[in-house]
Structure 1
Amino acid sequence: MKLTIVSRNPKSTKFPVTLELAGTASTIKTSDVNKALAAKFPKYYPDRQRLTTEDKKVLDLDKTLEEQGINEQSSIYFKDLGAQIGWRTVFMIEYAGPILIHPIFYYLSKFIYGSSFTHSPMQTVTYYMVMAHFFKRELETVFVHRFSHGTMPFRNVFKNSAHYWLLSGANLAFWVYGPWFAQGRAAAVRNDVWIYGSVAVWAWAELSNLITHITLRNLRPPGTRVRAIPYGYGFDLVSCPNYFFEFLAWTVVCFLTTSWSAFLFNIVATGQMYVWAVKKHKNYKKEFKDYPRNRTSMFPFIA
């Protein structure tokens, strides 16, 4: 079968190009076209390609050309997505920021703030909560998460990392570990109920978040892009309980520290997670006709 590949870039000198593939439209999948194009132009490895129809509908890698209305008279349109980086690597880089930054502000406070002081119990508890949270995220990235999309454009890693390195890294650490919350300051006073209650709720939220991540992992067999309806703990109420429990964990940090920097990070993070949750919720309902109607996107009974 012969296929014409046209570039979305009008300045391209390499395209259009004709590819010859063994088989017919009923047997050739989009992934086969990816591989054939990569064989002709090694620079455009499969993860770097976006193949679409003329009306910009993205072709499904696992479907045959015939299933998507493609035949020998059709043209497939190609877009170069640029140099790619694996999502697993992206997450590792993002979460490494707070892990590196918080110890600097906590242990080198004398040099950063210009005076010696003793950290209050609130500061110490917050430090260990933040560190535990991001170490958990790193471990989940390595051992739990399975990604439906293998890569993303390399240039985006800087934008994605800024959220964690700046907001939950430098900004949060600077304002929470400063002398204004030091031992003996009125702003740092927390009774035992406040501290231990915060730790208990935070631990429950973090554990719940892990459980939902494991549920999502078990939906997708290794090496596949299989999608299914998640059920179980948290999923009976919302489509994205992992985001909801993440929101609760950071809300605990907000009310434990009472720092505006914690509230700022939580507001920004929750806003982004809500956008993702709404999108996933809509996709679930569109893809699965029997999707439970009682679920909301992220917040139980609300939205």
Structure 2
Amino acid sequence: MLDNCLLIDNLCCFRQVKQEEMHALYKGRSAAVKEDMVPSKQSEMNPFLSLSQFVLTSGQQAIQKHSKISYFEVEILDAQTKKQICVLEKILPSFTIADVKHKFHKAYPQWYPSCVGLHQECAGPLLKETEVIKNLAASSIITLYFRDLGTQVSWITVFLTEYTGCLLLYLLFYFRLLNLYGMEAISHRSCHPVVNLACICHSLHYIKQILETLFVHSLSNGNTALKKMLKSCVFYWGFTSWMAYYINHPLYTPPSYGNRQIIPAMVCFLICAAGNYFANTAVVQMHKTGTKSHFVRPTYNPFTWLFKLVSCPNYTYEMGAWISFTIMSQTLPVAVFALMVSLQLVFWAQRKHCKYQKDFKNYPSYRTAMIPFIL
């Protein structure tokens, strides 16, 4: 009996232990389930929280971005009197001088953008229309000086007017449409072959210039003052009339050495005219490719080989053409015109040569501006 009582007690204790273990295991599982349920609720809330945070942060970023936008005020003064004309407000940093001119035109409709010249300094150079305002700003207020440029004309109009006038004026003298020599002189006219050759060469030169202006040169949309165009036309037209008057005069004296002087000079003139055309074409092709990191180099065309020695062979050929025309015609007006044109070409060539040396670090040191090894 005692053994049976002990066995019963042991079974009771074992059952109690098992119940306690099962109860503890149940509590652990329920706690684990509760712990698992909490993150699931948080995970359901995460998209909403993320969306809220995105809206709030994007709003803050938009406010910060808007607060970073700064405007400039452009004060425009008269370049002569230095009195204030106006103040243009809310000028964005990305605005160019062209945009400022258009805004100035809205305030003062009588001043067209093409007639407005703006300087950063009173006696300084004109600012380019592509210049960005933020590059000129030392503070939030920018002071610019206004100058009236007068009536403006496009560059293509300038060149066509100059060249067409020279062509027509020479032909007027050649065909004696202007009665400048008198009837007696015309009746005793003795036309030398060199007079005809001079007319052909002169006409070919300006016809080439007109065609290049229309179809070769990529002229910018810039303008120049009408006064400058008139001065240029007076210069070219005046010299053309002077040359044509003497070469086509009934008492004109042909060159001293006859055909031995005329033929080589004419051949040299034609070669220089062709070289000028091909050099201009090479420059235009380089600009059209948009490779500003490269300068013009010689091509397979022999007329472009002069690029090995000079920066502006088109000016070299131009000067050579007028020197050849001087030798062929042997007249003082042509010699004076060739000298004046050569001086102008040398000035332009030196300016371009200095620009090339500044822009390109690997620019050939042996190149000169216009005349090989000399200038």
- Give the TM-score normalised by the residue count of structure 2: 0.71
Match for residue 94 of structure 1?
A: 162
Q: 240, 248, 255: which one pairs with 1:177?
A: 248
Higher relative CO (CA 8 A, sep ≥ 6), structure 1 or 2? 1
1:242 aligns with 2:310: no
2:95 maps to a residue whose letter is: I
Q: 1:301 to 1:62 in 2, by over 3 A?
A: same
Question: Which of 103, 109, 115 does residue 48 from structure 1 map onto?
Answer: 115
1:215-294 to structure 2, matched below 5 A, reads 215-221=282-288, 229-232=295-298, 233=304, 234-294=306-366
Go from structure 1 to structure 2 and tell me whether the alpha carbon gap of 1:179 and 1:243 turns closer, same or farther (over 3 Å shift). same
Question: 1:194–1:256: 8 Å Cα contact kept in structure 2?
Answer: yes
Post-superposition CA distance 1:43-79 (Å, at most 9, x none): 3333323333247364443343223345423323332
One of 19, 43, 54 as aligned partner of 2:89: 19
From 156, 172, 181, the equivalent of 1:104 is 172
Letter in 2 for 1:164: Y
SS in 1 for 2:269: helix
List 4+ stretches of structure 1 deviating above 6 A: none
Does structure 1 residue 214 correspond to structure 2 residue 281?
Answer: yes
Partner of 2:63: none
CA distance in 2, matches of 1:239, 1:47: 32
- Alpha-carbon contact 2:75-2:142 (below 8 Å) kept: no
Gaps of 5+ in 2: 1-70, 299-303
Deviation at 1:127, TM superposition (A): 0.6
Q: Which amino acid aligns with 2:246?
A: W
Residue 110 (structure 1) shift: 8.8
C-alpha distance in 2 between matches for 1:109 and 1:61 = 46
Q: Which residue is equivalent to 1:154?
A: 226
Describe how 1:122-161 pairs up with structure 2 within 5 A. Answer: 122-148=194-220, 150-161=222-233
Check conservation: 2:74, 2:142, Cα contact below 8 A: yes
Secondary structure at the residue paired with 2:366? coil
Classify the secondary structure of the residue corresponding to 2:146: strand
Question: Kindly tell me: are residues 74 and 150 of structure 1, through their superposed partners in 2, closer, same or farther at Cα, counting changes over 3 Å?
Answer: closer
Q: Which residue pairs with 2:75 in the alignment?
A: 5
* 8 Å CA contact 1:205, 1:245 repeated in 2: yes
Distance 1:59 1:262, change over 3 A: closer
Classify the secondary structure of the residue corresponding to 2:147. strand
Give deviations 1:88-119, integer Å, cap 9, x for gaps: 10111111222111111111179322222131
Task: Indicate the larger mover: 54-63 or 262-271.
Answer: 54-63
For the residue of structure 2 that corresponds to 1:16, the secondary structure is: strand
Aligned pair partner of 2:151 in 83, 92, 100: 83
C-alpha separation between the residues in 1 aligned to 2:254 and 2:191?
13
Rg larger in structure: 2
Q: 1:246 to 1:276 in 2, by over 3 A?
A: same
Query: Is the contact between residue 272 and residue 321 of structure 2 (CA under 8 Å) also seen in structure 1?
Result: yes
Q: Which runs of 5+ in 1 are unaligned?
A: none
Aligned length: 293
Structure with the bigger percentage of helix:
2
Note if contact 2:266-2:325 (Cα within 8 Å) is conserved in structure 1: no
* 3-state secondary structure, aligned to 1:235: helix
Distance in 2 of aligned mates of 1:69 and 1:165:
45
Checking the alignment, whether the CA contact within 8 Å between 1:51 and 1:79 is kept in structure 2 is yes
Task: Give the SS at the match of 1:302.
Answer: coil
- 3-state SS of paired residue (1:74): strand
Contact 1:52 1:59 survives alignment (8 Å): yes
Rounded to whole Å, the distance in 2 between the matches of 1:110 and 1:97 is 15
Structure 2 CA distance, aligned partners of 1:140 and 1:208? 13
| 1:67 maps to 2:135 | yes
Q: Return the letter of the residue paired with 1:260.
A: L
TM-score (norm 1): 0.86
